[in-house]
């Protein structure tokens, strides 16, 4: 029998099962299997990190037993089994599972052979410095929402205030009900560059972001074959990325036996079990599915992975290696499925959407933190204002307190007499007598003034979105500086996959930019070599009032860096500049680059490879010079990058590539030249946003006209000449070069032995480089050349001549030179450039 309190409710079984199953499915999706797109964490990971933060297990504190952490998580936040919590903790400490582990493990945390970790009672852990700086910073500043735990006894964060896109940094994998996620890990530095690019250009596309985030960066290194899978994953949210282990063919020596060839595997694809791979290869050899393998052994140690596969004498190593790629997990696919929770709903996101969701979350975090700091500052300042009122009426207030019968009476009278709030009256009553001294009173006034400035600043941050974006950029730049590591995974072009450069022959090209901003590219072979003292060919169809400003020879595959007078650098591939005929005007550069109207390109440099061994040397109109590592310019945003910090009124004028053992020669309009080394003593390397040091002392009315770099072997030759005889008497005949080519605006030129320009200290007056035939003649160019070099000169009216430098006379510094180009009456030489040496591949065209 049923009691009066109980009722039987008839329900349709199908509807009940459908409703219950959907509730269960959503519970698994939201509360267990899928990560949040904002901090990239599932609830179990978030709870572990927060529990460790609450226990004070920061990177600079001693390790604590993992069992202690697991107990804390189970008791307070995560009502599931201890195995689930410990497994999640272990994975966050494995450097072969996480690109940047979030937990520092002490003890056996498993291996790439799939060995299990030691029991939690043996292992110890603490947070890594990256976790504290990038995930848990500001969690007490009301940056994120908190909710009740499972029994309502504790509060836990619903998301962590992440400063980096952790979702993409370490990736994630999980199987929910009816859906799954599989996000690959990425490089921290590249993600931060991509985020900065998105902040600078909110309209950036997924493909443009690939310039900054070229692809996943797996913790185990290895290779990615092809970019088509990456493009698909980044633009649609789904894609198959082919991973391949790193293997090389080597010869192994045996004592008393003939040498044998072997395949040495040093890196495996992400999440590949090394022991299982070796076992599979051995089984396939036994089953005769793999031929040519004599022995296989694992020689891995603490220095790194090394699997040695010895081959039979008659085996073809490349064939065996290709079979290993084809038939074993040495080559595997990563099925990217970029699914994450956005506002509690599962969504498949592109790379840009991931970064946009994170950026919006970060803006919200900083807004909430600023409001919290503003409230705290205003509350504190409110109390200080009360204390200042008390100090102003000190004697009356002391008398009032002495006469009052009790504390509540004193408080009420103070509030009534002086217009104080309850909090201010409490603060005055609690004030210690020592704070009545003159020094302490002054401290209160100073703190009040500082708080007023802080409150104004915080209100300004809340009022202006650009201030918040600046704060985000500053924070991620600090994290990148401290925690970013070089890329481990190499992205290779797959067989048959065609890159843009594969479709373009790497021919020599001439890049020309006019004063009015017209840009054009022409093949160098448009201009055949001519004799000295001839007129040259028209090189560009310019307007009457236009003139050639910059002139550069390079190869079509090179990157061309454009430096502006404001110290900003822009980048284009040479082949992206439209090819033009000899008489065409070219294309306005503003159609190719986002250059503001008040900005002007003052130097262009071609780069084939952004090496850390090379530097860019920059010289300003005001005579400041600096060198910066070339690698610092490898990722130039579409809207440019700051290259140098300039003083008011100064301009960046010349930029050249150099190595640390090279030297620099700088020329002035009145014919002076200074020559000094580029080593760290004369010119120490500086970052991008720096000013530099003084380059040359100039006479009144003189100005710099340019600089060139002398290679290290030239510097060595000069040292030899200086040891043999004084620089002033250096021989005119200088072997096969090198020489300094001196060209004047009036069309005169000469080759001067480099030995005549002795090495000096930076910031001196220099030496005379040439004597002028005519009073109005000036120095136009100063270049270093070798035997067989070819020179291209352009006049201000666009006449170009190409000629062999060997035809120009060898003369001393004090000579006037010979005529190198016949000029029209109102024309003058504007610039000179050398034809690049043959690369050997400019005639090769890829087969269709």
When pLDDT is averaged across residues 248-261 and rounded to a whole number, the result is: 79
The residue length of the chain stands at 848
Q: How far is CA 352 from CA 181, 204, 205, 213, 217, in A?
A: 18, 8, 7, 11, 17
Q: Is 50 exceeded by the pLDDT of residue 843?
A: no
When pLDDT is averaged across residues 60-75 and rounded to a whole number, the result is: 95
* 36 contact partners, CB below 8 Å, separation of at least 6: 42, 46, 159, 167, 340, 341
Q: Does 525 lie in the same domain as 634? A: yes
Tokens 């010869």 map to which residue?
251
Smallest CA-to-CA distance from 573 within 544, 543, 593 is with 593
Asked if the structure places residue 816 within a domain, the reply is: yes
Asked if the structure places residue 115 within a domain, the reply is: no
Residue pLDDT, tens place only, 637-681: 777 888 999 988 899 999 999 998 899 999 998 999 999 999 888
**For the residues of 294-341, what is the DSSP string, one character each?**
EEEEE--BTTB--EEEEE-TT--HHHHHHHHHHHSTTEEEEEEE-EEE
Instruction: Give percent above pLDDT 90 in the chain.
Output: 46
Q: Look at residue 836 in the predicted model and tell me its pLDDT.
A: 64
Q: Look at residue 840 in the predicted model and tell me its pLDDT.
A: 43
Q: Does 458 lie in the same domain as 568? A: no
Q: Does 619 lie in the same domain as 540? A: yes
Told to judge if 624 belongs to the known catalytic residues of this protein, a careful annotator would answer no
Q: Look at residue 265 in the predicted model and tell me its pLDDT.
A: 93
Q: Look at residue 837 in the predicted model and tell me its pLDDT.
A: 62
Asked if the structure places residue 414 within a domain, the reply is: yes
Residue pLDDT, tens place only, 404-431: 889 899 989 889 888 889 999 998 888 8
Q: Which two tokens stand for residue 298?
A: 């694992």
CB 344, CB 415: distance < 8 Å: no
When pLDDT is averaged across residues 74-87 and rounded to a whole number, the result is: 93
Q: What stretch of H or E contains 395?
A: helix 394-403
Smallest CA-to-CA distance from 364 within 146, 161, 138, 158 is with 161
For residues 183 and 611, which has the higher predicted lDDT (pLDDT)? Answer: 183
Asked if the structure places residue 205 within a domain, the reply is: no
Last residue of a domain, one of 278, 300, 329: 329
Tell me, letter by letter, the H, E, C secondary structure of 150-182. CCCCCEEECCCCCCCCHHHHHCEEEECCCCEEE
Q: Look at residue 844 in the predicted model and tell me its pLDDT.
A: 37
Q: What is the CATH number of the domain that holds 716?
A: 2.120.10.90
Measured in degrees and rounded to the nearest 5, phi and psi for residue 766 equal 90, -165
Q: Is 90 exceeded by the pLDDT of residue 156?
A: yes
Band the pLDDT of 96: cuts 50, 70, 90. Answer: very high
Looking at 207-221, 748-762, 778-792, which range is the least confident one?
778-792
Q: Does 507 lie in the same domain as 475? A: no
Q: Does 431 lie in the same domain as 477? A: yes
Q: Look at residue 839 in the predicted model and tell me its pLDDT.
A: 42
Asked if the structure places residue 98 within a domain, the reply is: no
- Exposure letters 140-155 (e unless 16+ CB within 10 A, then b): ebbbbeeeebeeeeee
Q: Which two tokens stand for residue 642?
A: 């700051």
Question: What end-to-end distance do the CA atoms of the chain give, in Å?
Answer: 87
Q: Is 447 in a helix, a strand, or coil?
A: helix
For residues 120 and 599, which has the higher predicted lDDT (pLDDT)? Answer: 120
Residue pLDDT, tens place only, 222-252: 999 988 999 999 999 999 999 999 999 888 8
Q: How far is CA 759 from CA 674, 683, 715, in A?
A: 8, 14, 8
Q: Look at residue 259 in the predicted model and tell me its pLDDT.
A: 79
Q: Is 60 exceeded by the pLDDT of residue 813?
A: yes
* C-alpha span between 613 and 611 (Å, rounded): 5
Instruction: Give percent above pLDDT 70 in the chain.
Output: 91
Q: What stretch of H or E contains 289?
A: none
Q: Is 60 exceeded by the pLDDT of residue 541?
A: no
Asked if the structure places residue 683 within a domain, the reply is: yes
Smallest CA-to-CA distance from 770 within 700, 623, 667, 696 is with 667
Q: Which residues constitute the domain of residue 730?
A: 500-834
Q: Give 3-state DSSP helix, strand, coil % of the chain, rounded to 5.
A: 35, 25, 40
Residue 711: Cβ within 10 Å count:
16
* C-alpha span between 477 and 192 (Å, rounded): 7
Q: Which two tokens stand for residue 779?
A: 């120095």
Please say whether the dihedral angle defined by the alpha carbons of residues 692, 696, 697 and 703, taken in this order, is positive or negative. negative
Q: Does 784 lie in the same domain as 662? A: yes
Angle (CA) 260 264 268, round 5°: 160
Beta strands in 32-190 (DSSP E): 64-65, 103-106, 124-127, 146-148, 155-157, 172-175, 180-183
- Exposure letters 496-519 (e unless 16+ CB within 10 A, then b): eeeeeeeebbbbbbbbbbbbebbb
CB 830, CB 780: distance < 8 Å: yes
Q: What is the CATH number of the domain that holds 404?
A: 1.10.268.10
CB burial of residue 782 (10 Å; 0-12, 13-18, 19+): buried
Q: What is the CATH number of the domain that holds 317?
A: 3.30.1360.40
Q: Which candidate in 21, 24, 122, 316 is catalytic? A: 122
Q: Is 90 exceeded by the pLDDT of residue 159?
A: yes
Q: What stretch of H or E contains 689?
A: none
When pLDDT is averaged across residues 66-82 and rounded to a whole number, the result is: 94
Q: Does 706 lie in the same domain as 663? A: yes
* C-alpha span between 32 and 42 (Å, rounded): 6
Q: Does 415 lie in the same domain as 516? A: no
When pLDDT is averaged across residues 271-276 and rounded to a whole number, the result is: 92
Asked if the structure places residue 12 within a domain, the reply is: no
Q: Is 50 exceeded by the pLDDT of residue 289?
A: yes
Mean pLDDT, rounded, of the chain: 86
Residue 209: Cβ within 10 Å count:
24
Residue pLDDT, tens place only, 546-575: 666 777 888 888 899 999 999 999 998 888
Residue 485: Cβ within 10 Å count:
11
DSSP class of residue 633?
A: G
* 591 contact partners, CB below 8 Å, separation of at least 6: none
Q: How many domains does the chain have?
A: 3
Last residue of a domain, one of 302, 329, 356: 329
For residues 47 and 26, which has the higher predicted lDDT (pLDDT)? Answer: 47
* C-alpha span between 86 and 48 (Å, rounded): 9
Q: Look at residue 390 in the predicted model and tell me its pLDDT.
A: 86
Q: Look at residue 791 in the predicted model and tell me its pLDDT.
A: 84
Q: Does 781 lie in the same domain as 671? A: yes
Q: Look at residue 583 in the predicted model and tell me its pLDDT.
A: 77
Smallest CA-to-CA distance from 436 within 403, 387, 384 is with 387
Q: Does 678 lie in the same domain as 624? A: yes
Residue pLDDT, tens place only, 691-723: 889 999 888 888 888 888 888 877 776 666 666
* C-alpha span between 98 and 92 (Å, rounded): 7
Last residue of a domain, one of 481, 515, 540: 481
- Strand-pairing partners, residue 514, are 548
**For the residues of 345-390, what is the DSSP string, one character each?**
EEEE--HHHHHHHHHHHHHHHHHHHHHHHHHHHHHHHHHHHHHHHH
Q: Does 825 lie in the same domain as 684? A: yes
Tokens 């044998």 map to which residue?
260
CB 752, CB 740: distance < 8 Å: yes
* C-alpha span between 374 and 451 (Å, rounded): 10
Asked if the structure places residue 28 within a domain, the reply is: no
Looking at 162-176, 211-225, 486-500, 739-753, which range is the least confident one?
486-500
Q: Does 691 lie in the same domain as 731? A: yes
């Amino acid at each position: 029998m049923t009691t009066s309190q109980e009722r039987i409710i008839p329900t349709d079984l199908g509807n009940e099962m459908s409703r219950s199953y959907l509730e269960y499915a959503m519970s698994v999706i939201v509360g267990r299997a899928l990560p949040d797109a904002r901090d990239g964490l599932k609830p179990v990971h978030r709870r572990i990190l927060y529990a460790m933060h609450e226990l004070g297990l920061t990177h600079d504190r001693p390790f604590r037993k993992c069992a202690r952490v697991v107990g804390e998580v189970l008791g307070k936040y995560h009502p599931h089994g201890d195995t689930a919590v410990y497994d999640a903790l272990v994975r966050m400490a494995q450097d072969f599972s996480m690109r940047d582990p979030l937990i520092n493990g002490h003890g056996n945390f498993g291996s790439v052979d799939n060995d299990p970790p030691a029991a939690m009672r043996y292992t110890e852990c603490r947070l890594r410095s990256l976790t504290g700086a990038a995930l848990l910073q500001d969690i007490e500043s009301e940056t994120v929402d908190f909710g009740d735990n499972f029994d309502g006894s504790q509060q836990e964060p619903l998301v962590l205030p992440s400063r980096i896109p952790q979702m993409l940094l370490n990736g994630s994998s999980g199987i929910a009900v009816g859906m799954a996620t599989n996000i690959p890990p990425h490089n921290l530095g590249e993600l931060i560059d991509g985020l900065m690019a998105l902040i600078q250009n909110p309209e950036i596309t997924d493909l443009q972001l690939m310039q900054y985030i070229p692809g996943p960066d797996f913790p185990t290194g290895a290779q990615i074959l092809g970019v088509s899978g990456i493009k698909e994953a980044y633009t649609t949210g789904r894609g198959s990325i082919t991973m391949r282990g790193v293997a090389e063919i080597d010869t192994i020596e045996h004592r008393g036996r003939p040498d044998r060839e072997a395949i040495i595997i040093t890196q495996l694809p992400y999440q590949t079990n090394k022991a299982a791979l070796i076992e599979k290869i051995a089984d396939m050899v036994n089953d005769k599915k793999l031929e040519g393998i004599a022995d296989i052994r694992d020689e891995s140690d603490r220095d790194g992975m090394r699997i040695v596969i010895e081959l039979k004498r008659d085996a073809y190593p490349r064939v065996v290696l290709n079979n290993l790629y084809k038939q074993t997990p040495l080559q595997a696919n990563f099925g990217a499925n970029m699914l994450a929770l956005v506002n509690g709903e599962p969504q498949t996101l592109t790379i840009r959407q991931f970064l946009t969701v994170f950026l919006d979350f970060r803006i919200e975090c900083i807004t909430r933190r600023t409001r919290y700091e503003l409230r705290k500052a205003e509350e504190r300042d409110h109390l200080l204002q009360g204390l200042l009122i008390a100090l102003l009426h000190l004697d009356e207030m002391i008398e009032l307190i002495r006469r009052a019968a009790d504390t509540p009476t004193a408080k009420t009278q103070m509030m009534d007499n002086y217009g104080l709030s309850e909090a201010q009256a409490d603060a005055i009553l609690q004030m210690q007598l020592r704070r009545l001294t003159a020094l302490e009173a002054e401290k209160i006034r100073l703190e009040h003034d500082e708080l007023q400035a802080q409150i104004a600043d915080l209100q300004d941050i809340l009022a202006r979105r650009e201030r918040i974006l600046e704060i985000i950029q500053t924070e991620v730049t600090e994290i990148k500086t401290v925690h970013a590591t070089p890329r481990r995974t190499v992205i290779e072009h797959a067989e048959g996959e065609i890159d843009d450069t594969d479709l373009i022959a790497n021919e020599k090209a001439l890049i020309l930019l006019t004063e009015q901003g017209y840009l054009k590219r022409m093949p160098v072979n448009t201009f055949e070599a001519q004799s000295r003292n001839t007129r040259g060919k028209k090189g560009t169809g310019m307007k009457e009032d236009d003139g050639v400003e910059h002139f550069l020879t390079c190869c079509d595959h090179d990157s061309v860096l454009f430096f502006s007078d404001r110290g900003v650098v822009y980048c284009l591939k040479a082949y992206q500049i439209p090819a033009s005929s000899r008489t065409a005007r070219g294309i306005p550069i503003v159609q190719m680059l986002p250059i503001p109207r008040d900005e002007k390109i003052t130097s262009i440099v071609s780069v084939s490879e952004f090496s850390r061994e090379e530097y860019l040397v920059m010289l300003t109109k005001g005579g400041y010079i600096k060198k910066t590592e070339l690698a610092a310019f490898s990722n130039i945003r579409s809207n440019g990058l700051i290259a140098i910090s300039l003083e008011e009124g100064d301009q960046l004028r010349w930029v050249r590539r150099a190595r640390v053992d090279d030297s620099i020669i700088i020329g002035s309009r009145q014919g002076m030249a200074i020559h000094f080394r580029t080593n760290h003593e004369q010119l120490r390397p500086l970052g991008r946003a720096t000013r530099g040091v003084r380059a040359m002392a100039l006479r009144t009315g003189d100005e710099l006209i340019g600089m060139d770099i002398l290679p290290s072997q030239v510097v060595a030759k000069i040292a030899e000449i200086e040891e043999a005889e004084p620089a002033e008497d250096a021989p005119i005949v200088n072997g096969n070069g090198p020489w300094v080519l001196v060209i004047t605006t009036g069309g005169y030129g000469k080759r001067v032995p480099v030995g005549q320009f002795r090495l000096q200290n930076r910031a001196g007056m220099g030496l005379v480089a040439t004597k002028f035939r005519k009073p109005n003649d000036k120095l136009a160019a100063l270049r270093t050349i070798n035997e067989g070099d070819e020179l291209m000169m352009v006049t201000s009216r666009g006449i170009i001549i190409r000629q062999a430098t060997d035809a120009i006379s060898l003369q001393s510094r004090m000579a006037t030179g010979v005529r190198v180009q016949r000029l029209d009456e109102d024309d003058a030489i504007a610039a000179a450039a050398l034809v690049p040496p043959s690369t050997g591949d400019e005639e090769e065209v890829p087969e269709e």
